[in-house]
Amino acid sequence: MDENQHPVRAQDRHAPVMLQACVDLLAPALAGPGSVYVDATLGMGGHASAVLAACPHSRLIGIDRDTAALELARERLAQEGFADRIDLVHATYDAIPEVLAERGLTASAVMMDLGLSSFQIDTSERGFSYAADAPLDMRMDPASGGPTAADLLRDLDEKELARILREYGDERFAPRIARRIVAERAEHPLERSGELVDLLDRAIPAASRAHGGHPAKRSFQALRIAVNDELAILARAIDGALDSVGVGGRVVVESYHSGEDRLVKTALARRTRSSAPPDLPFELEEHKPTFAALTRGALQADEAERESNARSASVRLRAAERLRPAH
C-alpha cells in the first residue's frame, strides 16, 4: 500500500507511555482558566491530546526539535478540535524559559517524554533504527545541520567512541566495538545502519548476542544520544522546566535511559530537600524546599502495558510540584 495515498494517522502510529498516570499527575495544575501546559517533547502529540481533552481550560505550548513531528502533531491536534488552544514551537526543550518569556507566560505544568519518538523510529531513512538499512544520520533536527552518526564514526578517536558507547549505551563491549570501528573505517567509512549492525554482530560475542535484546540496540542508542547532545540539553532543560512553573505548578518527566533518569533524579532532589545546615536547631523559611515530590522514587509501567507497548519497558516516571516561589 502506498502510504502517500493512505497515510497513517499520528494517533495510530504512537502509543503514549503511561498516559493515564501522566494525565492524572498533570491535571490538578491545569484545572484553572488560562492554565498553560508545556509539552516540551511534543512528538506526535499523544500526551498533549489526552491532557487537552482532560483539562478543557488549558492551552498548550508544544515544543519539538523535529519539524516533521511538529507538523504531524499540528494536523492531529487540529483534527481533534484543539487548533485554537495550541501554539507549536520549533526548538530544543532547553528553550522552555525563553519560549515562555517571549509569550509573557508562566507554566502551570510541564511534561517531558524523553528519548526517541515512534515517528523517528518509523521514519527509516533517518537511520535511527537498527531494523532497517538506511544512511547513518540520527539527527532529530536534520535541517539544523550538525554531525551525523556517520560523521562521529568517521572522526572520533577510539577512546572517545568507547566512552560514548559505554556511558550512553551501557555497552559492556564498548572498547572492543570501538577498536572494530576504527579498524573497519580504515578500509571504508561506515555510512549505513546495515553496515554498523553487521559490525556489531561480529564484534559482540555470540553468547552475549543471545541475551538482552538486539546486539545493536545499545550502540544505536549511544550514538543517537551523542549526535543530538541529549544529556547536556536535558541537564539545562530540567532546571529550566522547574524554574518556569508557578506555585502549584507541576513537572512530569519520563526517562528511558539510566543517564537521563540520573539527571532528572538529581535535579528533583536538589529542589525537594531542605538547604538548611544540619546543625541549625530549626529550619528557616529560606531553607525550606521549593518543590515536593509527587512520586515515591520512580514510577514504572505495569506488566500489561509492558506487554502491549515495548517502549514502556524501561520507562522511569518522576514528578514534582512547586510549593513556594524561589528566592
CB 198 within 8 A of CB 180: no
Residue type, 41: T
CB 225 within 8 A of CB 115: no
- Beta strands 291-293 and 36-39 are unpaired
b vs e for 210-243, b when ≥16 Cβ sit within 10 Å of the residue's Cβ? Answer: eeeeebbebbbbbbbbbbbebbebbbebbbbbbb
Residue 264, Cβ density class (10 Å: 0-12 exposed, 13-18 middle, ≥19 buried): buried
| Nearest alpha carbon to residue 94 among 57, 63, 135 | 63
Can you tell me whether residue 311 is helix, strand or coil? helix
**Residue 37 assigned as binding residue:** no
Q: Which triple of cell numbers denotes residue 140?
A: 532529530
**Residue 115 assigned as binding residue:** no
Q: Give helix 230-244 / helix 258-272 axis angle, nearest 10°.
A: 30
Residue type, 236: R
**Residue 113 assigned as binding residue:** yes
Chain-centre distance for alpha carbon 296: 21
**Residue 157 assigned as binding residue:** no
CB 180 within 8 A of CB 202: yes
**Residue 11 assigned as binding residue:** no
Q: Cα angle vertex 194, ends 190, 198, to 5°?
A: 85
**Residue 5 assigned as binding residue:** no
b vs e for 1-15, b when ≥16 Cβ sit within 10 Å of the residue's Cβ? Answer: eeeeeeeeebbebbe
**Residue 43 assigned as binding residue:** no
Q: Residues comprising the binding site for S-adenosyl-L-methionine?
A: 45-47, 64, 93, 113, 120
Q: Residues comprising the binding site?
A: 45-47, 64, 93, 113, 120
